Amino acid sequence: MDYLLTESQIMIRDLARKIAVEKIKPVAAQYDESEEFAWPVMKILAESDLFGIYLPEAYGGMGGGILEMCLVTEELSRACGGIALGYAGTGLGTLPILLHGSEEQKKKYLPDIASGKKLAAFCITEAEAGSDAGSIKTTARKEGDKYILNGTKQWITNAGEAEIYTVIALTDKAKGVRGASAFIVEKGTKGMEFGKKEKKMGIRASATREVIFTDCEVPAANLISREGMGFIVAMKTLDTSRPGVAAQAVGIAQGALDCALDYSRTRVQFGAPISSFQAVQHMLADMGTQIEAARALAYSVARMVDSGAKSVSKESAMAKLFASDVAMKVAVDAVQIMGGYGYMRDYPVEKFMRDAKITQIYEGTNQIQRNVIAANMIKEALKK
Amino acid sequence: MNIIVCIKQVPNTTDVRIDPVTNTLIRDGVESVINPFDAYAIEEAVRIRERCGGKVTAVTMGPPQAETALKEAIGLGCDEGVLVSDRKFAGSDTWATSYTLACAIQKLDAYDLVLCGKQASDGDTAQVGPGISTHLDIPQVTYVKKIVEINDKSARVERMTEEGYDVVEVPLPCLFTVVKEINTPRMPSLKGMMRAKSAKLVKWTAADLDADPAALGLDGSPTRVVKIFTPEPRKGGEMISGATGEVARELVELLKGEVV
């Protein structure tokens, strides 16, 4: 389908596709097995200028937006959703600075992110604060020109690998979510440590660790926006980043369909390629249609974000919800089409199936997305 | 250091079709790319410039659409691109091609180094690089797998051979043809591609070159391709079976019959 992309968007997509095909696809299974972080691929993405595509030119970026970021995330995910997350997770960690950071903070942190010299990570989740993000317990106590952070963030993407962390912590426990604030914490800050690397079902090339703060001293200049704005920063960040999760899901789904389609054309049973059987054809048709619908929604919402729309909560939740459910269904069907071969780790579709699952869970479970969508629908109806 | 990289645009497939009448390549309908071997020459040139400073100029002779190969080369880090294109060059063999490229190189600023891929993936002759150095009257080292040392005056390189490698020291200016062992070409960068999009290429026709018109194109090409064909596959040999002694006797009789 023609999405009327600009010349430079096509250039970005094609470059990301080239890197995915030539540099990620050949190593995807190896990194899935070893669970190592794919630094050599991150270096290639950096040298190709892809880390900066959604950042303003004033900070070393290419001046694009979330649509550009989605195009890259989708293409990389088509080869490996885990390696793609090193890229997309950096975007998530960067958005609080891009959206709410001061001029000084942007000048200080964005150029190294744009060049790919430093990766970023976003820290909100805690052991007892998942869907209920409002119940975080990490605190930030102001002392002179510093904040002292204490608490443990859990399941942080890129933790340990990234240099720049945006962290949500409570500056005023009594106020609950209205007492949350956002901070930039650099790796190596005294009192900041990383927990063991988590062993995951999928996206195994992505690094997931705890980030532990023990009397961690952060300069007051690293407070993003004002005290009490943390939850708003976090929600706005997630609203902006969710089309990226949708794009990741679309990429995973497309990667799985690519495999299943190729396989169906060459696998002969009952004397004919299985692609000639209507049972298989209808599955392929549904998969292709669902992916296209998910892509269309993801791109539309990305464009809406880039247009500067005031609220995109409902739409970005819809894109994330729909695309991730499609990814899961398509990946399961791809395994089904390939039968026993699909179930074997010698073929990539079982990995797409494992990778797909996380897109229904992280950056807000799909149940939470439905809550957000319904709440917005009801709110809109009340205004009429 | 001023480095010139000679590149060729080739069909993106090893399965090229050949016109049965003219015995030349049919390029229509096939996606064109930079000759894969030339990509190593581009990468090596860009790496030398990153170490020593200077300029990398990509030069190609070809039809107008070879412009895209030059833009791609700029995307990969070359500074400038020169397209030498004229109907008069049509039908050039490796001799006329290397003469034309040498004339173009002489028209450029003084150079220190000319880099070429070891051969093109379509013609596979490996003759144009050495031909250019002959026309330019500069030393050449072919099949270079490593540039150990390079400065304004000379270079020390490793040249791949079937048994191992030679270490060659050579004064500059000179020409190297490089093999794929020399490096791993980088991916294009977006900034490079953006620069390529707006880059102005130098375009020269035969009239712009200080060249002997009789030495160009088909007329300047001493090579004639008489016929191109796929050799008949060899038929399987005759199998003899039985007891060892009998088989040996039968074989000797058969060989006698063949007048060995």
Q: What is the pLDDT of residues A159-173, one digit of tens each?
A: 999 999 999 999 999
The first and second tokens of residue A67, run together, are 């649509």
Q: At what angle do helices A278-306 and A313-343 cross, to 10 degrees?
A: 150
Read off the pTM.
0.87
Residues of B within 8 A of A23 (CB-CB) are: 187
Nearest-Cα distance to chain A for B259, in Å, is 50
Are A81 and A245 contacting, i.e. CB atoms less than 8 angstroms apart? Answer: no
CA A11, A16, A18: angle at the middle one, nearest 5?
A: 95
Catalytic site residue from A75, A161, A315, A363: A363
All CATH 2.40.110.10 domain ranges of chain A, comma separated, are: 121-230
| Numbered ranges of CATH 1.20.140.10 in chain A | 238-383
CATH class of A121-230: mainly beta
Residues of chain A with CATH 1.10.540.10: 7-119
Q: What is the mean pLDDT of chain A?
A: 97
Q: What is the fold of A238-383?
A: Butyryl-CoA Dehydrogenase, subunit A; domain 3 (1.20.140)
Which chain A residue lies closest to B196 (C-alpha atoms)? A11
Superfamily of domain B2-215: HUPs (3.40.50.620)
Task: List all residues 6 or more positions away from B51 whose beta carbon is below 8 Å from its beta carbon.
Answer: none
Q: State the DSSP string of A29-66.
A: HHHHHH----HHHHHHHHHTTGGGTTS-GGGTS----H
pLDDT of residue B260: 63
Give ∠ CA A297-A303-A305 in degrees, rounded to 5.
105
d(CA A75, CA A84): 9
Model ipTM over 0.85:
no
Domain ranges of chain B: 2-215
Q: Report the residue of chain B nearest A17, measured CA to CA.
A: B187
**Residue-level pLDDT at A126:** 97
What angle do the packed helices A278-306 and A230-266 form, to 10 degrees?
150
Tell me which of B187, B194, B198 to substitute to probe the interface with A (most A C-beta atoms closer than 10 Å). B187
**A210-223 pLDDT, tens digit each:** 999 999 999 999 99
Residue A48 distance to chain B (closest CA, Å): 4
CA atoms within 13 A on the CB side of B103: 22
Q: How far is A313 from chain B (nearest CA, A)?
A: 31
Tell the CATH superfamily of the A7-119 domain: Acyl-CoA dehydrogenase/oxidase, N-terminal domain (1.10.540.10)
Which tens digit of pLDDT belongs to each residue from A279-326? 999 999 999 999 999 999 999 999 999 999 999 999 999 999 999 999
Contact call for residues B5 and B38 (beta carbons, < 8 A): yes
List of chain B residues whose C-beta atoms are within 8 Å of the C-beta of residue A22: 187
Q: pLDDT tens digits, chain B, 260 residues: what are they?
A: 999 999 999 888 666 677 777 777 776 777 889 999 999 999 999 999 999 999 999 999 999 999 999 999 999 999 999 999 999 999 899 999 999 999 999 999 899 999 999 998 877 889 999 999 999 999 999 999 999 999 999 999 999 999 999 999 999 999 999 999 999 999 999 999 999 988 999 999 999 999 999 999 998 999 888 887 878 888 888 888 889 999 999 999 888 888 76
Q: Which of B72, B34, B73 is nearest to B57 (CA)?
A: B73
pLDDT in the model for residue B164: 94
Residues of B with Cβ-Cβ distance to A19 under 8 angstroms: 187
> CB B187 to CB A19 under 8 A?
yes
Residue that wins the pLDDT comparison between A366 and B227: A366
